[in-house]
């Protein structure tokens, strides 16, 4: 979650950012129906990242989702891994006008969002945010 105000993660000025490293099966981000608002190249060694944006009607917060290129995602249905500096993602979003470079990152987390079938997770996450 980002905001112009340090510590804010719930007001209408806050934004939710999502980085989709692997996706399939019909699950799509908020804003999918309107189409991508930008294409970002050269992020984490891949070209063709698509940015989707839309309002989460439940929270009133804008969600910006950056999806890995459909033909060059991280991992697959059998699993995968990702290692990278999330700051590169944030800088790419700032360069595309999603937020100002002075915006605060107030909340950070990671996870998976399965929506069908049987799922087993074995995840390790290392995340450090310096405010």
Encode pLDDT of 69-95 as tens digits: 999 988 876 777 888 888 899 999 999
Integer-rounded Cα Rg, in Å, for the chain is 15
Question: Domains of the chain: which residue ranges?
Answer: 2-105
In this structure, CATH architecture of domain 2-105: Sandwich (2.60)
CB 128 within 8 A of CB 28: no
Q: Which residues lie across from 26 on neighbouring strands?
A: none
Query: What is the model's pTM?
Result: 0.84
The pLDDT, as a whole number, for residue 131 is 55
Per-state percent for the chain, helix, strand, coil, to nearest 5: 10, 25, 65
115 vs 82 pLDDT, higher one: 82
Query: What are 83's two structure tokens?
Result: 């290692």
Could you report the per-residue pLDDT of 10-52, keeping only the tens digit for each? 776 788 999 999 887 788 999 999 999 999 999 999 999 999 9
In this structure, the number of other CB atoms found within 10 A of the CB of residue 30 comes to 19
Integer distance in angstroms from the first to the last C-alpha of the chain? Answer: 13
CB 17 within 8 A of CB 120: no
Query: DSSP assignment, residue 67?
Result: E
Query: Which uninterrupted H or E stretch holds 88?
Result: helix 86-95
User: Which residue is listed with tokens 């000025």?
Assistant: 13
Q: Can you say how many angstroms the Cα of residue 31 is from the centroid of all Cα atoms in its chain? A: 13
Average pLDDT, the chain: 85
């Amino acid at each position: 979650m980002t905001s112009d105000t340090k510590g804010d993660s719930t007001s209408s000025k806050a934004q939710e950012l999502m980085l989709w490293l692997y996706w399939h099966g019909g699950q799509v981000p908020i804003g999918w129906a309107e189409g991508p608002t930008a294409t970002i190249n050269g992020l984490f060694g891949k070209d063709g990242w698509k940015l989707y944006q839309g309002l989460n009607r439940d929270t009133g917060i804008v969600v910006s989702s950056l999806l890995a290129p459909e033909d060059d995602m991280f991992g697959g249905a059998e699993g995968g891994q990702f290692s990278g500096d999330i700051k590169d993602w944030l800088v790419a979003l700032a360069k595309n006008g999603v937020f100002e470079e002075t915006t605060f990152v107030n909340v950070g987390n990671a996870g998976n969002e399965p929506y069908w079938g049987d799922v087993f997770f074995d995840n390790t996450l290392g995340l450090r945010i310096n405010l």
